[in-house]
Amino acid sequence: MIHVIASATVKAQQYSMSRPHPNRREMQMLEVPKPILKEAASSAGTRGKVVGKTRRPTTARILASVIALAVAIGAGVSAWEIFLRPIEVQVAAVERDVPVQVFGLGTVEARVTSRIGFKVSGVLIDLRADVGNFVAKGAILARLDDREQSAQVARTNATVQLADANLQRAAASVEKAQANYANAKSINERRQMLLKGNSTSIEAAQTAQAAQDAALADVNLAQSDVLVAKANIGDAIAQQQLQSTILDFYTLAVDLRRFR
């Protein structure tokens, strides 16, 4: 243990009691000596320890070091678990033949743009499609009033039928004229033979020749009628096709050939 002996303090008190109160100058000249430190032997006989200073036991220091080391190890393990451990991910199952789908924002434009419309004027009576609709090949988009044009097509059909009938009559006339010509030719040949043998008169032979010539003319006329009838029926058929084509213009339909 260390003991402090404050002898100077006791002397100072005695001095102040034996003398009257000094003046200020004397009080300033007084010095209070510092406490004297003495060493005292401990129970174990140790020396060299100074009063006011203490040394921690070695066990406490070791315990503190162990605690600090444990805290550091725990912090390191926690950091490894948080930052260095593998990241858990969810693995999807393998799929095959997955359809490819593309999503995006924008404007879809056709590679080829074609303006369509009626080639004839008329009154619109039916509208079956609008801009942006999907239509199939041959689908009807719109129709005009085609009653007048349908009547025109009907007249051309009748003209074709009439021309065909005229052609058939002309062909029949040719056959009849050819038969009459063959008969007249046969009669004329007999009359000419009889005339050479003086078995008939000259007038009879001339009449037979005239009949043959007339029959041949009828054949030629009938053949001409056939040619005219064929021409008429050709014109009628062409007009029928034209009017039918015009009638198709009154109906607006999807024709893919126009977009190729």
Please tell me the least confidently modeled range out of 79-83, 155-159, 216-220.
79-83
Instruction: Give yes or no: residues 179 and 66 share one domain.
Output: no
Can you read off the two tokens belonging to residue 171?
């062909």
141, pLDDT greater than 60: yes
Residues 97-137 have pLDDT tens digits of 888 887 778 887 777 777 778 888 889 999 888 877 788 88
- Give the C-alpha separation, 212 to 27, whole Å: 193
Q: Kindly indicate the confidence band of residue 183, based on its pLDDT and cuts at 50, 70 and 90.
A: very high
| Residue 207 CA: distances (Å) to CA of 11, 188, 190, 219 | 205, 8, 12, 19
Query: What are the start-end ranges of the E strands in the chain?
Result: 4-5, 36-37, 124-127, 140-144, 251-253
Q: How far apart are the first and last CA of the chain?
A: 118
Instruction: Give yes or no: residues 80 and 153 share one domain.
Output: no
Mark which of 87, 107, 135 sits at the end of a domain: 87
Instruction: Give yes or no: residues 70 and 141 share one domain.
Output: no
Residues 241-254 have pLDDT tens digits of 999 999 999 998 87
Can you read off the two tokens belonging to residue 179?
């038969």
Contact 144, 122 (CB under 8 A): yes
Q: Quick check: is 198 in a domain?
A: yes
Q: Quick check: is 159 in a domain?
A: yes
Q: Quick check: is 168 in a domain?
A: yes
36, pLDDT greater than 50: no
Q: Is 91 helix (H, G, I), strand (E, B) or coil?
A: coil
Proportion of the chain above pLDDT 70, given as a percent: 72
Q: Quick check: is 44 in a domain?
A: no
Instruction: Give yes or no: residues 161 and 216 share one domain.
Output: yes
Instruction: Give yes or no: residues 133 and 205 share one domain.
Output: yes
- Give the C-alpha separation, 25 to 80, whole Å: 75
Structural domain count of the chain: 2
Can you read off the two tokens belonging to residue 124?
């619109």
Instruction: Give yes or no: residues 230 and 175 share one domain.
Output: yes
Q: Quick check: is 115 in a domain?
A: no
Range of 33-47, 110-124, 191-205, 242-256 with top mean pLDDT: 242-256
According to DSSP, residue 112 is labeled S
Q: Kindly indicate the confidence band of residue 83, based on its pLDDT and cuts at 50, 70 and 90.
A: low
Against a cut of 0.85, is the pTM above it? no
Contact 215, 184 (CB under 8 A): yes
Q: Give me the mean pLDDT over the 7-36 stretch.
A: 43
Q: Give me the mean pLDDT over the 6-20 stretch.
A: 41
Mark which of 35, 67, 87 sits at the end of a domain: 87
Name the residue among 144, 112, 139, 143 with its Cα closest to residue 254. Answer: 139
According to DSSP, residue 84 is labeled I
Mean pLDDT of the chain: 76
Q: What is the CATH number of the domain that holds 210?
A: 1.10.287.1700
pLDDT (0 to 100) of residue 177 = 92
- For 146, the domain range is 124-259
Q: Is 206 exposed, middle or buried (0-12, 13-18, 19+ CB in 10 A)?
A: middle
Q: Kindly indicate the confidence band of residue 139, based on its pLDDT and cuts at 50, 70 and 90.
A: confident
